[in-house]
Amino acid sequence: MRLGAGTFAACCVAIEVLGIAVFLRGFFPAPVRSSARTEHGAEPPAPEPSAGASSNWTTLPPPLFSKVVIVLIDALRDDFVFGSKGVKFMPYTTYLVEKGASHSFVAEAKPPTVTMPRIKALMTGSLPGFVDVIRNLNSPALLEDSVIRQAKAAGKRIIFYGDETWVKLFPKHFVEYDGTTSFFVSDYTEVDNNVTRHLDKVLKRGDWDMLILHYLGLDHIGHISGPNSPLIGRKLSEMDSVLMKIHTALLSKEREMALPNLLVLCGDHGMSETGSHGASSMEEVNTPLILISSAFQRKLGDIRHATRVQQTDVAATLAIALGLPIPKDSVGSLLFPVVEGKPMREQLRFLHLNTVQLSKLLQENVPSYEKDPGFEQFKMSERLHGNWIRLYLEEKHSEVLLNLGSKVLRQYLDALKTLSLSLSTQVAQYDMYSMMVGTVVVLEVLTLLLLSIPQALHRKAELEVPLSSPGFSLLFYLVILVLSAIHVIVCTSAESSCYFCGLSWLAAGGVMVLASVLLCVIVSVLTNVLVGGRPQRKL
């Protein structure tokens, strides 16, 4: 087959783009998303399971807290709070962690450890990808379901002060806000003063339900002089005094409220030993998460150690705390210590709502969801929960009821852990098969271009592409057979689905035919060159 130089080049570019697209589809896997549209209104919550008994709990549980304050300190490492620096520079926070009414966690922030993806993870419960690193420079409005969106839909009044990334992600969601740009990293004073100057006034008011504060100074100090700078200690002391001011104000207001308040201290990401962030070192991914409330009663001598959780768990926990639906795309699980002081029926209700949300997400994104251990544990938990409800409605106080409730509780917690892990793995892993297919196509086109350059430099040149020899046909069918066998083996043995295996046989077969043709053309051209001939050219 004879092709002009321009046509040949255009075909090569088109095939190259196809190969790169397949590779990028494997390198940036499709995020786990719910098919339910947020703009169509909230779905009714899943009813409480029942086994032969009528249950009238078909609504969301009421809020656990009256007001929620989130203090996010940019680049706050876990050892800045739980280590020697915390003891020295954050005495009030250390007291709350060790003796106060609080629950402490080390929350793992998945890479990329930059601000915008981490805010998305905290508020949506989903796992952003590396493509969000680019969006971090100019954050577009967040269209995914989130705690902020659910709170606004429920009529809650949200106030924000701090990094303007929040304002870009959630436009028209705050009744009051004051954004601060994060690009002037030499400024580590005014960026925080601009947040703190609002505190005295807003803490005296009662016309808000959620207050979010994002402090940037610590991150800027890290970029300038690293985590061992003497400025770090001063900034931590400043943040400790801010936390004390907020906590004491919330406690003084609780006398007028029916419910307690919740104060959340967290970081979006950590800080490496050079003061940077974005990668996956332990210093960059480990962040502190402290939940403080008078509802978390602690007995004398009760020593609590910070347990490891995922940053995506915050969204589900905040939703339950505020009496809101869990964001549809969340892969996180409820931090159980927040609700462990509630009656057993309420605890099971919270866990059931979380497992239903995760199981729906699994069903919509994993074709073989029925074989997933988490889904099997969820179905078992739901059956046991129904039996417990029947027993509860018949007899509210018995040893059997208590033992069965504890068993259902453990079953739900195991199911949550497994479901969350399955969904997180689905997002985080690379699609190696699709990446290999894209790489093969790209390399074949590059090889063909390199072999054809000497003959195709003239604009009026015509290249003879060998497509009809008997040897070509035999090689073509052999390659097609081998590629088809590889495709069947990979797609039937893979534990998780991949993009290329999800394509129809017609589409996947088309790519295999294309790869086979390219390989045969390369072999034919190489044979002509090595034997002493040359690709035919007509001028």
126 touches 143 (CB < 8 A): no
Per-residue pLDDT, 296:
93
Closest of 134, 496, 107, 454 to residue 307, by C-alpha? 107
| DSSP type of residue 103 | E
pLDDT tier at 505, thresholds 50, 70, 90: confident
Got the DSSP string for 444-497? HHHHHHHHHHHHH-STT-EEE-----HHHHHHHHHHHHHHHHHHHHHHHH-SS-
Cα–Cα distance for residue pair 340/317, rounded to 1 Å: 13
Cα–Cα distance for residue pair 364/36, rounded to 1 Å: 10
What value does the mean pLDDT of the chain take? 86
Question: CA angle 326-327-333, nearest 5°?
Answer: 55
> Do the bridges between strand 462-464 and strand 2-4 make them parallel or antiparallel, or are there none, so unpaired?
antiparallel
Give just the sign of the alpha carbon dihedral 18, 20, 23, 29: negative
In angstroms, what CA-CA distances link 451 with 273, 415, 516, 524, 526?
48, 56, 17, 11, 8
Confidence check: pLDDT of 512 > 80:
yes
pLDDT tier at 536, thresholds 50, 70, 90: very low
Least confident segment among 171-175, 209-213, 441-445: 441-445
Confidence check: pLDDT of 38 > 60:
no
The amino acid occupying position 425 is T
| DSSP type of residue 225 | H
The amino acid occupying position 186 is S
Cα–Cα distance for residue pair 97/515, rounded to 1 Å: 60
Bigger pLDDT: 70 vs 515: 70
pLDDT tier at 472, thresholds 50, 70, 90: low
Mean pLDDT computed over 397-420: 92
Tell me the sheet residues that pair with 106.
Answer: 288, 308
**pTM for the full model?**
0.81
pLDDT tier at 488, thresholds 50, 70, 90: confident
Confidence check: pLDDT of 451 > 70:
yes
Domain layout of the chain by residue ranges: 2-29+431-533, 42-59+344-428, 67-341
DSSP E strands, 232-306: 262-266, 286-292
> What SS3 state is found at 105?
strand
Structure-derived torsion over alpha carbons of residues 230, 232, 233, 234, reported in degrees to the nearest 10: 90
Alpha-helical runs (H) found in 49-198: 78-82, 84-89, 91-98, 115-124, 131-135, 147-153, 165-169, 190-196
Per-residue pLDDT, 539:
37
182 touches 216 (CB < 8 A): yes
For a pLDDT cut of 70, what percent of the chain falls above it?
86
Per-residue pLDDT, 208:
96
Bigger pLDDT: 465 vs 155: 155
Mean pLDDT computed over 294-315: 90
Least confident segment among 38-52, 78-92, 288-302: 38-52
137-153 pLDDT tens trace: 555 788 889 999 999 99
Per-residue pLDDT, 282:
95
pLDDT tier at 5, thresholds 50, 70, 90: low
First to last CA, the chain: 16
Cβ neighbours around 37 below 10 Å, total: 9
Closest of 192, 201, 160, 197 to residue 73, by C-alpha? 192
Per-residue pLDDT, 537:
46
Question: CA angle 180-183-189, nearest 5°?
Answer: 60
Cα–Cα distance for residue pair 57/390, rounded to 1 Å: 13
Per-residue pLDDT, 396:
66
333-351 pLDDT tens trace: 999 999 999 999 999 999 9
User: In the numeric block, which tokens belong to residue 260?
Assistant: 């307690």
Question: CA angle 311-312-314, nearest 5°?
Answer: 75
Bigger pLDDT: 283 vs 488: 283
Per-residue pLDDT, 50:
81
Per-residue pLDDT, 468:
54
Per-residue pLDDT, 41:
54
Confidence check: pLDDT of 40 > 60:
no
For a pLDDT cut of 90, what percent of the chain falls above it?
53
Cβ neighbours around 41 below 10 Å, total: 9
Around 519, how many Cα atoms within 13 Å sit in the side-chain half-sphere?
18
Bigger pLDDT: 453 vs 86: 86
Domain 67-341 has CATH 3.40.720.10: yes
Least confident segment among 39-48, 160-169, 200-209: 39-48
In angstroms, what CA-CA distances link 365 with 138, 311, 362, 426?
29, 21, 5, 9
Q: What share of the chain is helix, strand, coil (3-state, %, to 5)?
A: 55, 10, 35
Closest of 187, 221, 215, 182 to residue 199, by C-alpha? 215
Tell me which long-range contacts 15-21 makes (C-beta under 8 A, separation of at least 24).
Answer: 15/441, 15/445, 15/514, 15/518, 16/441, 16/442, 16/445, 16/446, 18/441, 18/511, 18/514, 19/438, 19/439, 19/440, 19/441, 19/442, 19/445, 20/438, 20/442, 21/438
Per-residue pLDDT, 460:
57
Tell me the sheet residues that pair with 179.
Answer: 162
Bigger pLDDT: 225 vs 452: 225
The amino acid occupying position 451 is L
